């Protein structure tokens, strides 16, 4: 996950350099196979051999760009943390540039099924540090999120752009989202039921390269056990 979120993803719809005869895909409207010709592929600028941007964010801070000392809405020199203003602008720019989101697990499985003529994009969040900030619960049991946190902004964009296929994978440590464990358990169940994925970021956020085999097993195994207790069979088997 090398692309910094402050950068515009590399355009992935260049004219193909290989010979394409025809292909088929299903459409959400009909679930029927549609066949596209080589000419239609060229006219749409589709290149299925290009790369897929995987954007790794960390924390989204409830700040305006004017409140940070760094340029472009970054909250740190490396661009891993973004202001809420910048993150929302990022998402709108990706949509306008023709990107459509897909799940990380679908990418790993080779299931890249964005609509014809659009480019795939994957969002991930490491650490889970206050990326999901709970303000309370509605009477129907659904969560009320801080509108300036990551998931609050994602839900806003999802409502505005239904065809964006808004989704993201959140890799958490033992503290989860820091809303209190009972709240976080309920939130995580809501997340996996509403198009988001949860993954393993180790128990204590250690650098596994400096750990022996026993410590790696403890760090990774602890989190898989915890996830299995909260959302059994619904978390992603990917360690970030």
Which tens digits make up the pLDDT trace of 46-61? 777 778 999 999 999 9
Place of tokens 């897929």: 52
More confident residue, 14 or 187: 187
Please report the sign of the dihedral spanned by the C-alpha atoms of residue 101, residue 103, residue 107, residue 112: negative
Alpha-carbon separation of residue 159 from 152, 162, 183 (angstroms): 11, 6, 24
| Whether pLDDT at 101 is above 50 | yes
Please give the average per-residue pLDDT across 177-186, as a whole number.
Answer: 95
Q: How far apart are CA 95 and CA 127, in angstroms?
A: 25
For residues 138 and 158, the answer to whether their CB atoms sit within 8 Å is no
**Contact (Cβ atoms closer than 8 angstroms) between residue 73 and residue 92:** no
pLDDT above 80: residue 236 = yes
At 232, the pLDDT band (50, 70, 90 cuts) reads very high
pLDDT, tens digit, for every residue of 8-38?
A: 444 444 333 334 444 455 555 545 567 788 8
Q: What does the pLDDT read at residue 201? A: 87
Which two three-digit tokens encode residue 230? 């909260």
Give the whole-angstrom CA distance, residue 57 versus residue 59: 7
| Alpha-carbon gap, residue 58 to 81, rounded angstroms | 5
Joined tokens for residue 136? 């309370």
pLDDT of residue 25: 54
Three-state SS string across the chain, please? Answer: CCECCCCCCCCCCCCCCCCCCEEEEECCCCCCEEEEEHHHHHHHCCCCCCCCCEEEECCEECCCHHHCCCHHHECCCCCCCEEHHHHHHHHHHHHHCCEEECCHHHHHCCCCCCCCCCEEEEEEEEECCCCCCEEEECCCCCEEECCCCHHHHHHHHHHHCHHHCCCCEEEECCCCCCCCHHHHHHHHHHHHHCCCEEEECCCCCCCHHHCCHHHHHHHHHHHHHHHHHHCCCCCCCCEC
Burial of 122 (0-12, 13-18, 19+ CB in 10 A): buried
Lookup: tokens for 54: 């995987």
Q: What is the pLDDT of residue 19?
A: 41
pLDDT greater than 60 at residue 220 = yes
Average pLDDT taken over every residue of the chain: 86
Condensed to tens digits (0 to 9), the pLDDT of residues 108-166 reads 998 988 888 899 999 999 987 789 999 999 999 999 999 999 999 999 999 999 999 99
Does pLDDT of 76 surpass 50? yes
């Amino acid at each position: 996950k090398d692309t910094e979120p402050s950068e515009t993803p590399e355009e992935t719809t260049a004219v193909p350099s290989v010979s394409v005869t025809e292909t088929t895909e299903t459409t959400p409207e009909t679930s029927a196979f549609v066949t596209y010709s080589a000419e239609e592929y060229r006219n749409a600028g589709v290149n299925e051999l290009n790369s897929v941007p995987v954007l790794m964010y960390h924390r989204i801070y409830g700040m305006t760009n004017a409140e940070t000392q760094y340029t472009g809405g970054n909250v740190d020199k490396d661009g891993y943390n973004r202001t809420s203003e910048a993150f929302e602008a990022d998402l709108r720019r990706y949509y306008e540039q023709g990107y459509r989101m897909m799940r990380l697990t679908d990418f790993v499985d080779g299931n890249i099924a964005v609509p014809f003529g659009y480019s795939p994009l994957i969002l991930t969040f490491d650490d889970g540090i206050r990326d999901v900030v709970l303000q309370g619960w509605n009477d129907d049991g659904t969560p009320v999120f801080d509108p300036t946190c990551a998931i609050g902004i994602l839900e806003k964009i999802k409502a505005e752009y239904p065809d964006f296929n808004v989704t993201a994978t959140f890799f958490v440590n033992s503290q989860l989202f820091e809303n209190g464990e009972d709240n976080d358990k309920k939130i995580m169940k809501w997340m996996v039921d509403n198009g988001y994925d949860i993954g393993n970021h180790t128990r204590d956020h250690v650098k596994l390269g400096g750990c022996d085999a026993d410590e790696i097993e403890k760090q990774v195994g602890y989190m898989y056990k915890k996830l299995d207790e909260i959302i059994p069979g619904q978390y992603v088997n990917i360690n970030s």
